[in-house]
Structure 1
Amino acid sequence: MSYADKVFIDMCRDIIDNGTDTKGEKVRPVWEDGTPAYTVKKFGVVNRYDLSKEFPALTLRRTGIKSCTDELLWIWQKKSNNIHDLNSHIWDSWADEDGSIGKAYGYQMGVKHQYKEGMFDQIDRVIYDLKHNPYSRRIMTNLYVHQDLHEMALYPCAYSMTFNVTKEKGSDRLTLNGILNQRSQDVLAANNWNVCQYSVLLHMLAQVCGMKAGEFVHVIADAHIYDRHIPMIEELIAREPLPAPAFWLNPEIKDFYEFTRDDVKLIDYNTHEQIKNIPVAV
């Protein structure tokens, strides 16, 4: 069975059975009909995935690997904050009439900062350090810039990546590991989407820096299931997990800025049917 399925089932079961219910409390999100969107939540969920053993795509339902890679590249490679540069409509609700989501996500990735070696944006600095200072304990990104929050359509949810390099005994290559910090997550709508995205990112950065992908750690401060999602989650986690797919990344790409969504594939990715018509709280 897929290890990602086991992690997801255990997490959801724990949230539903042992989580805190926000019903009746003052909450920000609402459903389309204006009803408050309450959740059952757990604080401080930590999930670990060893990318050297398995790619963590759910088989309980399909995760669109090309679509989630496209969004990842929109932020990390294109450094865009405009939905017209994205091939899906997942950000439409937060964009203005020009397609902008403000000084959020990709905008922050494109801002250059002064370092002693010169001017770098956050991604270029990560790649520079992985190639020149791989054992640095300072290789990280941060999208949660307080001075710009008032100009963001949505405060960043997955806001920080910390990279850490190790070397296995007897190996001729370094191993790239990463921790994703997320302040909040809608488990049904976004959990495996984010897990797959940042697993792809680790594989991409490892490849262009001559390393191999190691462990991906996902830290979620507020992992929640919306009240209207609970029946869908119960149906999902009652399904029988299937074997995990194999992961393929185009080995010809050596420059991070040359990757496209078509350079990523899941092979033998068999899944149960999709959960459709998921209501989204805004």
Structure 2
Amino acid sequence: MSQADSIFIDMCRDILDNGYSSEGQEVRPRWEDGAPAHTIKKFGVVNRYDLSKEFPILTLRPTYLKSAIDEILWIWQKKSNNIKELKSKIWDSWADEDGSIGKAYGYQLGVKHQYKEGLFDQVDRVLYDLKHNPYSRRIITNIYNHDDLHAMHLYPCAYSVTFNVTGNRLNAILHQRSNDVLVANNWNVVQYAALVHMFAQVSNLEVGEFVHVIADAHIYDRHVPIVEELIAREAFEVPKLIINPDVKDFYDFTVDDFKLVGYKKGEPVKGIPVAV
């Protein structure tokens, strides 16, 4: 069993057995039929993944690596807020008629800020520091910009990353305000683990730990039987992530530079209802 499977199973079991239910409270999300989408949640979930040992992708069911990387490149490399530049349809519910999700996600990463060394956007500042000052304790991105929240179609869920180099290993902490565990947990883990791999490769570093801090980790009421079935499944050995070693510039990565070798996984979970 991979560490990703083990962590996911333990987290889901803890939420289901010990979590807090929102039944009886007024909640914002709704199902397609208009019913309130209640959750069972745990506050302050912290999961640690040692990327030097394995790539943290679930084997209980597929996590689609190239689609996940396409989205993380859309945000961090293209710094886009327009779904027309994204292959998947996962952002369609939050986009306007022009395809924009407002001043959210990639838009915030692309805004330039003044530093003593010059103008940088947040991504370029991380890359600069990893090259010129890798042991800094100030390598942080944050897209939860209160000045622009009114202009975002969705407030950022995964909103801040702190990068930290220990020896020759690049570590990262992702702070996430909210996480739909069934739909998005491993998707986010795979994305940001891949981002750490990319930043490490172009900075001549090795990968270290990826730490995922979730303020509100929740399972929706209509997802409970799906999760129960999922975490009872057989898990398999972890696959190996292969990244094109010739890429030396973060902005040169494409989804075709990544592949998984030996990815044995369970059947996809189909028909998952999504609350909006």
TM tier relative to shorter chain: over 0.9
Q: Which residue of 2 aligns with 1:237?
A: 231
**Count of aligned positions:** 276
Paired residues for 1:59-98 under 5 Å: 59-98=59-98
Matched, 1:188 2:182: yes
Paired residues for 1:128-167 under 5 Å: 128-167=128-167
1:183 is paired with a residue of what secondary structure? strand
How far has the Cα of 1:220 moved from its partner? 0.2
How far has the Cα of 1:147 moved from its partner? 0.6
Q: Which residue of 2 aligns with 1:175?
A: 169
Query: In structure 2, which of residues 188, 193, 200 is the aligned counterpart of residue 199 of structure 1?
Result: 193
How far has the Cα of 1:67 moved from its partner? 0.1
Q: Describe the superposition over 1:5-54 as per-residue Cα deviations: whole angstroms up to 9, x where unpaired.
A: 00000000000000000011011100011100000000000000000001
CA distance in 2, matches of 1:246, 1:57: 10
How far has the Cα of 1:241 moved from its partner? 1.0
Structure 1 segments (4+ residues) deviating >4 Å: none
Runs of 5+ in structure 2 lacking a partner? Answer: none
Runs of 5+ in structure 1 lacking a partner? Answer: 168-173
Q: Percent identity?
A: 72
2:193 is paired with a residue of what secondary structure? helix
CA distance in 1, matches of 2:236, 2:226: 19
CA distance in 1, matches of 2:271, 2:71: 21
Of the structure 1 ranges 261-270 and 199-208, higher mean CA displacement relative to structure 2 is found in 261-270
How far has the Cα of 1:266 moved from its partner? 1.1
Paired residues for 1:1-282 under 5 Å: 1-167=1-167, 174-282=168-276
CA distance in 2, matches of 1:105, 1:153: 10
2:266 is paired with a residue of what secondary structure? coil
How far has the Cα of 1:3 moved from its partner? 1.0
How far has the Cα of 1:214 moved from its partner? 0.5
Q: Describe the superposition over 1:119-151 as per-residue Cα deviations: whole angstroms up to 9, x where unpaired.
A: 000000000000000110000100100010000
1:233 is paired with a residue of what secondary structure? helix
CA distance in 2, matches of 1:221, 1:250: 34
How far has the Cα of 1:240 moved from its partner? 1.4
2:148 is paired with a residue of what secondary structure? helix
CA distance in 1, matches of 2:209, 2:217: 21
2:78 is paired with a residue of what secondary structure? coil
CA distance in 1, matches of 2:256, 2:188: 18
CA distance in 2, matches of 1:69, 1:264: 9
1:36 is paired with a residue of what secondary structure? coil
Q: Describe the superposition over 1:139-173 as per-residue Cα deviations: whole angstroms up to 9, x where unpaired.
A: 01001000100000000000000000011xxxxxx
CA distance in 2, matches of 1:67, 1:116: 37
